[in-house]
Structure 1
Amino acid sequence: MDLTEALSGITTPLVTPFEDDSSQIDDDALADLIDHLLENGIDGVFPCGTTGEFASLSPEERKRVHELTVEHVDGEVPVLAGAAATTVDEAVEYADHAAEIGADAAVVTEPYFHGPNAPAGNQRFFEAVADRSPIPVLLYNIPPCTGGSIALETITTLAEHENVLGIKDSSGDLEYLLSIIRETPEEFVVLQGYDNLLVPALRMGADGGLNALSNVVPAQYADLYESDDEERGAAIQDAISPLFAACASYGFGPATKTALEYRGVIPSDAVRPPLVEVPDEGRAAIGEAVDGLLESGN
């Protein structure tokens, strides 16, 4: 599979559905979610990312979610396995397991908790993981969770590494993303992870999106990517904004799960501490936002 070509589209960072008390992963709901995405034109899936609450899963659970995803996708689209960790060995362990079960790439963030890390330290970390990973590595820039953005010089250096596939940028900084596009080779995959900036990013040369809300309305995201009609794309992007605002208020995992429950895709919006479910006053707004998005695709 040519990953550069395969990821030129919309990839979904999967939520991790739980039973009502959140103590167990709901295997059937995860399968239903994947079917919902594949039937509506999604080009790839990313289990155990931020939206997938990886930080609230045990290592065994993370591996189990990867296994379930690869098994159910059955080669139809690429699977990018979440390998975020604070040590090189742990990130490589997730990458090794992902390779063993047939995932296509490993997604790696900067080491978190330390705070803003020196660019040289981040580069050494990513290089060490990429050197040892048996599958390609996708960088994941998410500064609110790691203490800072990956330095542009670090990205341009890593873009020359034969085992670094590209980057998901969730910074919300469009100029930063455009600088990555300008200063990396054409084959380096650049994915916009900030839903509200997807259309401008695509128009300026991003290869695709890796967007939480594509869980909820995959057909609209696929339409947004494929459409040559700028007005239609802009209308869908505008309709994304209210739901994106709900995610900003309540968190991407909780808000996305509430929206999926509203659509009947998963039976429960349960999340694990420290996350909390969307309060009652937010549910109506999320429902209205989902309805608006569905109408935008008609």
Structure 2
Amino acid sequence: MSGTDAEPDSNDDPVRTWCPLVTPFDDDEAVDHEALATLVDHVREGGVEGLVPCGTTGEFASLDAAEYRAVLETTVDAAGDAPVMAGTAATSVAGTLDRVETAADVGADVGLIVLPYFHTANDPEGNAEFLRRVADDAALPLYLYNIPACTGQAIAPDVVESVADHDRIRGLKDSSGDFNYFVEALRRTPNDFDCYQGFDSYLVPGMLQGGTGGINALSNAIPEAFAAAAEAAAAGDVEAARRIGSEGIAPLFQQCVAHGFAPATKAALAERGVLDGTTVRPPLVELGNDTRAEIGDAVDTALDVVDSADLD
């Protein structure tokens, strides 16, 4: 979706499924833009609504500034009418604003921001002030990204609550894996504040608890499963939603937990024939043939579960 005139922020028809896109690399570790465009088509055809380039699964921290901009441009160009939420993580207010400005310049719709990593706050109010300062001057609406395993600190529920009324902060992606945290975020924020699950296996329970949907790595590889699970949960078809989540998504998600999100997701895409290669950049490494075979089996199982689900 080019530009910000149609922001993905309608409570009447929320975006339930977002894909944090992998960044395909060729054998020489150069960004493969043709493969990225093909991946966008695959995800959209599978029913996932929104696209998130340059997130954790997209190996944003391994991209230089020119590559970062180019990945955003390719995604926006390929997105069609799909909303684009650009990963805009950085360690300073100025750096984050610069990335948000880049995302706005290429036509993204919203930005996804994290707390500073490496140096963490000495008081939670410092984190709240960081988020407010970014939001005050941001060129796009923003979503908070809680991923303490990578940032060294969580966006405390008190902090989420204190900034949730900022007119540029629209919601939260929670990748903490702490479901109680997610419930607290839901409880403490307004009804029009979007709360997305970043843990793939929590998509269904998160929605049944009142969450908006998910931003889930494996929607790269099996978008049909995430689209079907979210649709079933939103429609109140709990049995179908739980079956897709527990029998289809969860086993493959365990491969991501065990082997890393970018390597496992790229392996799943290669096993499905969407990507030709599974190249990642250091410090990540590609997975071995045995693990890839296990991932391929899990992909097949997930697709079989979706095909056999009795959806209302």
Q: Give the TM-score category using the shorter length.
A: over 0.9
- Deviation by residue 1:93-118 (Cα, 9 ceiling, x = unmatched): 11111111211011101111124653
- Equivalent position to 1:285, from 294, 298, 302: 294
Q: 1:148: Cα distance to partner?
A: 2.0
**Distance (Å, rounded) in 2 between the aligned partners of 1:44 and 1:117:** 35
Secondary structure of 2:256's match?
A: helix
- Equivalent position to 1:201, from 198, 206, 225: 206
The amino acid that maps onto 1:277 is E
**Distance (Å, rounded) in 2 between the aligned partners of 1:283 and 1:71:** 31
**Distance (Å, rounded) in 1 between the aligned partners of 2:48 and 2:201:** 18
- Equivalent position to 2:115, from 101, 110, 114: 110
The amino acid that maps onto 2:138 is S
Shift in alpha-carbon separation, 1:269–1:90, aligned structure 2, 3 A: same
Shift in alpha-carbon separation, 1:64–1:7, aligned structure 2, 3 A: farther
Could you say what the CA RMSD is over the residues aligned between the two structures, in angstroms?
1.2
Q: Is the 8 A contact 2:204 2:245 kept in 1?
A: yes
**1:132 alignment partner in structure 2:** 137
**Distance (Å, rounded) in 2 between the aligned partners of 1:158 and 1:56:** 30
**Structure 1 moving runs of 4+ over 6 Å:** none
**Pair 1:148-2:141 in alignment:** no
- Equivalent position to 1:14, from 11, 21, 24: 21
**2:274 alignment partner in structure 1:** 265
**2:310 alignment partner in structure 1:** none
Secondary structure of 1:198's match?
A: helix
Percent pairwise identity: 46
Secondary structure of 2:143's match?
A: strand
Q: Is the 8 A contact 2:225 2:249 kept in 1?
A: no
> What is the TM-score of this pair, normalised by structure 1?
0.96
Secondary structure of 2:9's match?
A: helix
**Pair 1:51-2:57 in alignment:** yes
**Distance (Å, rounded) in 2 between the aligned partners of 1:51 and 1:84:** 13
**1:97 alignment partner in structure 2:** 102
**Distance (Å, rounded) in 2 between the aligned partners of 1:270 and 1:127:** 37
Please show how residues 150-229 of structure 1 align to structure 2 within 5 Å. Answer: 150-227=155-232, 228=235, 229=237
> What is the TM-score of this pair, normalised by structure 2?
0.92
Deviates more, 1:221-230 or 1:267-276: 221-230
**Distance (Å, rounded) in 1 between the aligned partners of 2:120 and 2:255:** 27
List runs of 5+ in structure 1 lacking aligned partners.
none
**Distance (Å, rounded) in 2 between the aligned partners of 1:2 and 1:237:** 28
**Distance (Å, rounded) in 2 between the aligned partners of 1:130 and 1:152:** 18
| Count, aligned residues | 296
List runs of 5+ in structure 2 lacking aligned partners.
1-5, 308-312
The amino acid that maps onto 1:250 is H
The amino acid that maps onto 1:18 is F
Q: Is the 8 A contact 1:224 1:232 kept in 2?
A: yes
**Distance (Å, rounded) in 1 between the aligned partners of 2:212 and 2:198:** 11
The amino acid that maps onto 2:66 is E
**Distance (Å, rounded) in 2 between the aligned partners of 1:59 and 1:80:** 18
Shift in alpha-carbon separation, 1:154–1:213, aligned structure 2, 3 A: same
Q: Is the 8 A contact 1:7 1:43 kept in 2?
A: no
**Distance (Å, rounded) in 1 between the aligned partners of 2:14 and 2:117:** 26
**2:47 alignment partner in structure 1:** 41
Shift in alpha-carbon separation, 1:221–1:149, aligned structure 2, 3 A: same
Shift in alpha-carbon separation, 1:285–1:115, aligned structure 2, 3 A: farther
